[in-house]
Amino acid sequence: MRSSARSAALVASSLLVASVASVAFVAPAAADPVPDGPGRAFVPAYTGGPATPRPLPGRPVPANPFQGPVGTSSMHADSHASDTYPFLGPLGRRPEVLTEAKGGGLPGLCSTVTFARRTGLIVAQCTRGQNFTLRLIDPRTLKDLAVHELPPRSSTVRAVFSLDLDKVLTDTSGGAYYYLDPRDRAVLADSAFHLRRFAHEKGPDGAWRFTVTDDWDLSRHLPHDCATWTNPFPKGECDPITAVGPDWGGLIWWITRNGRVGTVDPATGTVRRTALAGERVQNSFAAAEDGVSIVSDHALYRMRADASGTPRIVWRHAYDRGSGRKPGQIDQGSGTTPTFFGDGYVAITDNADERMNIIVRRRAGGRLVCRIPVFGSGRSATDNSLIGYGNSLFVENNHGYRNFLELPPGGSTVGGVSRVDVDPGGKGCRTVWTSAERSPSTVAKVSVPAGLLYLYTKEPRKDLLDAWYFTAVDVHSGRTVYKVLTGMGKWFDNNWAPITIGPDGTGYVGVVGGLVAVRDRG
């Protein structure tokens, strides 16, 4: 979520069309594995061979002192939104695939997966029917240990009453862009305009549970006349919170769909805010020692909090937002969360009509380093965060994907994944390689020590079969190293959810039917 993405993962994404789609499908029992579609016997279960680790060069991503360990604590892996991991991912050595539906039946798509250091358990934000949920999951079995229901989004209500699925597709709010703090607490802003910290612990009965340790009500600071089941057509403004994250001074930053930017001081509860007038925000943001970067549907920003905690603009640079929304985008604007990388760089993509460009700027001052086009003419779009490490960026092409319902049987997207490097001294950029792999909508990730880029791929097929693969690409050459079949059919479509690499080397993918894990056996 994409994730963007989404991410938006979303959004990242975090773009949870599954919450509406549940009314159209009959869900199997909650304990069942994700149901496989037809045709498994006609496609290979594994291609390629095991990888030999060859690290991607670059300095380690620094740890934000107010966020959990690098690689474990957010959709985009860390405070820099690098989408990289400092530990090995699956190498393709006799890989096994585990799937398990997430309680309450399908759909059960998990848009963000994080890892608690103290307990070793997964904390994940997922969908169940109309609601979002916070889940505590055993990483070996994928079984739920605790579930906390989160408030439904107003976009779900509006989509049902208007019969317009796009109202859900273009909503990245509701809690997908949360983070774990150094004490393994999930810090999350929900659709009821509450910013909360959730701890998890075992109760006296030995059962795991979530407990709310802090609760800041932001409704008096934000327009909140939002659609509900009893009032589906409100007259006022509803401005849901898109993402939250800590800066390096301990303030909790939050951003909203309609361009409001604010902070909460967790020590005092003091709230400060500003607004990006006439601009909207769909993605998350990145934080470094020297401030925060946010991208709206018009411009890239660098911001810092002043002495009172109020967000202030350090610099602003507009980008080419194109003439309209492309297939593979959720709005008219950049589909990427800003990424900090290398020697003081920040990167996004634009939404230029002819060819999408990667834009790299200096964090200090905002000077343009490069603006380099990627993918084919009239066939380029991304709604997922760039991966950034060392002087390298990785970008995938989502052009043509909208959601799992609209992807036809046997269909896929234009495809393409590229590596772009910043030249020494920041004097420009160059494309190192482009792979033809088709990764329709996932937030891709890189394991730095393995030297592998992980994608979630699907090739077009004339026999109309839908085969989904966890795919590893060599970051140095762009060569596909191996592919592992995760499953067949629409239940295995990730629908904008990210790939996540666990500290034990397991690769996780949130799919419409639940959660998929890929791990080495040898």
Q: Which residue reads 């929900």 in tokens?
A: 190
Q: Which of 95-109, 160-174, 383-397 has the lowest mean pLDDT?
A: 95-109
Residue 267: is its pLDDT beyond 60? yes
Quick one: residue 495, left, alpha or beta (phi over 0 = left, psi -120 to 50 = alpha)? left
CA separation for the pair 462, 410 (Å, rounded)? 6
Residue 216 in any domain: the answer is yes
Q: Output the pLDDT for position 157.
A: 80
Amino acid letter, 259? G
Average pLDDT over residues 164-191: 87
Q: Output the pLDDT for position 175.
A: 83
Residue 411: is its pLDDT beyond 70? yes
CA separation for the pair 377, 355 (Å, rounded)? 5
Residue 132: is its pLDDT beyond 90? no
CA separation for the pair 507, 509 (Å, rounded)? 7
Residue 388 in any domain: the answer is yes
CA separation for the pair 408, 406 (Å, rounded)? 6
Q: Which of 85-89, 224-228, 328-332, 339-343 has the lowest mean pLDDT?
A: 328-332
Predicted TM-score (pTM) of this structure:
0.92
Question: pLDDT digit string (tens) for 201-244?
Answer: 999 999 999 999 999 999 999 999 998 888 889 999 999 999 99
Domain containing 439 — which CATH number?
2.130.10.10
CB 343: neighbour CB atoms within 10 A? 15
- Counting the structural domains of the chain, the total is 1
CA separation for the pair 503, 453 (Å, rounded)? 16
Residue 247 in any domain: the answer is yes
Residue 1 in any domain: the answer is no
Contact 480, 85 (CB under 8 A): no
Residue 3 in any domain: the answer is no
CA separation for the pair 294, 485 (Å, rounded)? 36
Residue 414: is its pLDDT beyond 50? yes
DSSP state letters, 392-461: EEEEE--TT---TTTSPTT------EEEEEEPGGGS-EEEEEEE-----S---EEETTTTEEEEEE----
Contact 338, 286 (CB under 8 A): yes
Residue 42: is its pLDDT beyond 60? yes
Residues 6+ apart with CB under 8 A from 307: none
Whole-Å CA distances, 9 to 25, 351, 371: 23, 18, 24
Residue 292: is its pLDDT beyond 70? yes
Residue 215 in any domain: the answer is yes
- Strands 260-264, 252-256: pairing is antiparallel
Residue 187: is its pLDDT beyond 60? yes
Nearest to 348 by CA among 299, 313, 315: 299
**DSSP tag of 238:** B
Residue 467's domain comprises 9-519
Nearest to 21 by CA among 353, 521, 513, 517: 513
Q: Output the pLDDT for position 173.
A: 81
CA separation for the pair 228, 226 (Å, rounded)? 6
Nearest to 9 by CA among 76, 84, 101: 76
Exposure on the CB side of residue 309, measured as CA atoms within 13 A: 19
CB 304: neighbour CB atoms within 10 A? 14
Residue 291 in any domain: the answer is yes
Residues found in the chain:
522
CB 249: neighbour CB atoms within 10 A? 15
CA separation for the pair 434, 416 (Å, rounded)? 7
Residue 488 in any domain: the answer is yes
Quick one: residue 471, left, alpha or beta (phi over 0 = left, psi -120 to 50 = alpha)? beta
Q: Output the pLDDT for position 181.
A: 98
Ranges assigned E (strand) in 129-178: 131-137, 144-149
CA separation for the pair 326, 357 (Å, rounded)? 14
